[in-house]
Amino acid sequence: VQLQAFGGGLVQAGGSLRLFCKDPRIILSVFRSYDWGWYRQAPGKQRELVATITNDGRNLYEDFVKGRFAISRDNAKKLVYLQMNSLKPEDTAVYYCNAYRGGNFIYNWGQGTLVTVSS
């Protein structure tokens, strides 16, 4: 089972994008029970964590996106968002989302969505 990630594109440095991901088959109670995270993988680099939103609503960010990115979830729509502001060329990567519980990822990694930030 794979998640679908959307919202990537080409943007100039300083611009904004909003990503979202969904599993159209997930039931609400299961969606709400998971922690969700956004990850990214730049060319030639390993996949890295960007932000996490826990099932009790805490938001956690890696230092390189603090103050610029915001993760959120809409439990009613079963969507997870990543609002990205003040984008930098080094934010260029394929962005993925995944869910986890008990320290284990729930989904196989999908295709992600490509974000390209031009200088």
Series of mean pLDDT values for 10-residue runs along the chain (119 residues): 89 98 92 96 96 94 98 94 98 96 89 96
pLDDT of residue 47: 97
Q: Give the number of other Cβ atoms within 10 Å of residue 114's Cβ.
A: 13
66, 16 in Cβ contact below 8 A?
no
pLDDT of residue 1: 60
C-alpha to C-alpha distance for 112 and 102, rounded to whole angstroms: 23
Tokens of 11: 């943007």
